[in-house]
Structure 1
Amino acid sequence: MDLLLDEWLMTSWGLVMKYLLVAGLAYLLCYIILKKVLIGRKIQKKLPKPADYQREIGYSVLAMLIMTASAALNATVLLPYNNVYFGIDTYGWGYYLFSFVWMIALHDTYFYWMHRTIHHPRLFRTFHLVHHRSTNPSPWAAYAFHPLEAILEGAILPIIAFTLPIHWSAMVMFFIFSVVHDVYIHLGYEILPSRFHQTRVGRWINTSVAHNQHHRHFGGNFGLYFTCWDRWMGTLRSDYDEAYTKATPQRTVLDAATVTTPSVSGPSGGL
């Protein structure tokens, strides 16, 4: 029991610190330092209120304390039974890289169907309404889940560990990747290039715009890392392309400030 508690304290502390660092840096850059430069890439022009930030941080920290319990169980009580291993030579680097990609694909699939399920009218208010109180999300909303949803979110870790052999460090990298990605899709700004969503790769990537639409309209765009399941199941919002184009002007405020003569060859204004 002492080992389980120590593991939980260490894991939860690590995840909370990663969240505060990544979300804090994103907030500092986008909402303070580069606020004027990135104004054209703000998906919803209004800014959240201070009370929204406080709520998002509070629920995020609580949710992470719950979610990391499954990681602690994986590393202690469940370790003799799951597929977590410690020597990279056991399967080699090729498998190590494959397992990381596998974790992302499995998590994306699990999240899509879990997410759609808790949008059912009988489940939404209990499980998911807390997260959707952020109709105009900020980086702090990345893990702003109700405790019951946090249990479902954390369940992916034992699912991964019991599905295929996973090196412990690959799972740590997965944690870090997830934090960075979750902050990005809740950023409130689109930082990817204009027309990225129309490229061969970009059309399959879940963007900040796509997830922002989900928060704003409470439906469609259920995916996490990719748009694959949304496209296959017909749940990608029909106005996604339009919303992405609107949020990614080809000329930002910084670009406009360096131009003295306006262009006459295209639409006026870059915002």
Structure 2
Amino acid sequence: MEGTVALGNAFGALSSGGAIVAGLAFFAAIYGLFCGGNWLSTRYLLPAVGLGRRIDPRPLRPGQMRGEIASSLVSVAIFGLGSLLPWWFLQQGWARLAQDPGPLRVLAEAAVLLVWNDIHFYVNHRLLHTRPLRRYHQQHHRSLVTTPFATYSFHPLEAALLGNVILLPMLLHDFSFAALLSLPVLSLLLNNLGHSNYDYAPGVGPDHWLAASRRHHLHHACYHGNYGFLFNFMDRWCGTRLPDDAARAQLEAFAARASRHP
């Protein structure tokens, strides 16, 4: 853990411009790595070896992926600029980094942050579906059939809302830098899987965390419901869990049209 402690201290020692550049480079790198890798895996590698299946067979709209990547680059810029806020918290002494965290502490903190991320995502996602804010969420929902590149395809306001997830925890607890760093990495990785339009484990039940891509497919197909992230406890508690066959009529209608016009 000494390496991540030194990395955290180095981040705190950066200038404000250096913190922004570091944030931009970090978010651009993980976006390109995860989205590009997931696209190749779900379009070529996994189907070739017979693992998993595509969920929604409908075609993408013209120019969809180019639009997703363009708006995602704006979100990357916002997240990079947003790196200035945790840096500022450290400069002002409002937050501190744990200097001697053991591996169990790092794992426990990462788990707590992952659960917090689900709660934070659900609350903000529900707000983005309310009448005053839904117009800002339409950009993301232009991806009716999702791709991994849709993960960061946000209006700038949505990017700002979702990108502030780390701030409150930093004010409440002295986290290890490794745990703080794990949050955007795991958040993008798991959100990317959820937008992949690919069922990685067809054999697991609909409430399993590996079925998150099925649940989020339903959200994009139906618009309302399934507002959660990786887990679905918030949707269950708040009564917003969609039936597992909620998009059946849409997919059957597409199949019928395709059979008439092969």
**Do both share a fold (TM > 0.5)?**
yes
Which amino acid is the alignment partner of residue 152 of structure 1?
L
1:138 maps to which residue?
A: 147
Equivalent positions of 1:44-55 (< 5 A) are 44-49=56-61, 51-55=63-67
Relative to the length of structure 1, the TM-score reads: 0.79
Q: Does 1:98 align with 2:103?
A: no
Which amino acid is the alignment partner of residue 137 of structure 1?
T
Decide whether the 8 Å contact of 2:23 with 2:79 is kept in 1. no
1:15-38 CA distance string (max 9 Å, x none): 111111111011112223445666
Give, in whole Å, the separation in 2 of the partners of 1:206 and 1:228: 13
> How far did 1:213 drift?
0.8
1:110 maps to which residue?
A: 120
2:221 maps to which residue?
A: 216
What is the SS of the residue equivalent to 1:121?
A: coil
Q: CA RMSD in A?
A: 2.4
Which of 153, 159, 163 is matched with 2:162 structurally?
153
1:53-98 CA distance string (max 9 Å, x none): 00111111111210232323212x2113333314134xx4433222
Report how many aligned residue pairs link the two structures: 235
Give, in whole Å, the separation in 1 of the partners of 2:218 and 2:246: 11
Decide whether the 8 Å contact of 1:4 with 1:73 is kept in 2. no
Structure 1's consecutive aligned runs of 4 or more residues displaced over 6 angstroms after TM superposition are none
1:264 maps to which residue?
A: none
Relative to the length of structure 2, the TM-score reads: 0.81
1:57 maps to which residue?
A: 69
What is the percent sequence identity of the aligned residues?
A: 26
Give, in whole Å, the separation in 2 of the partners of 1:213 and 1:236: 10
Which of 96, 100, 107 is matched with 1:88 structurally?
100
Tell me, which stretches of 5 or more residues in structure 1 are unaligned? 247-271
Give, in whole Å, the separation in 1 of the partners of 2:28 and 2:62: 20
Equivalent positions of 1:1-271 (< 5 A) are 3-35=15-47, 41-49=53-61, 51-75=63-87, 77-79=88-90, 80-89=92-101, 92-125=102-135, 127-197=136-206, 202=208, 207-239=212-244
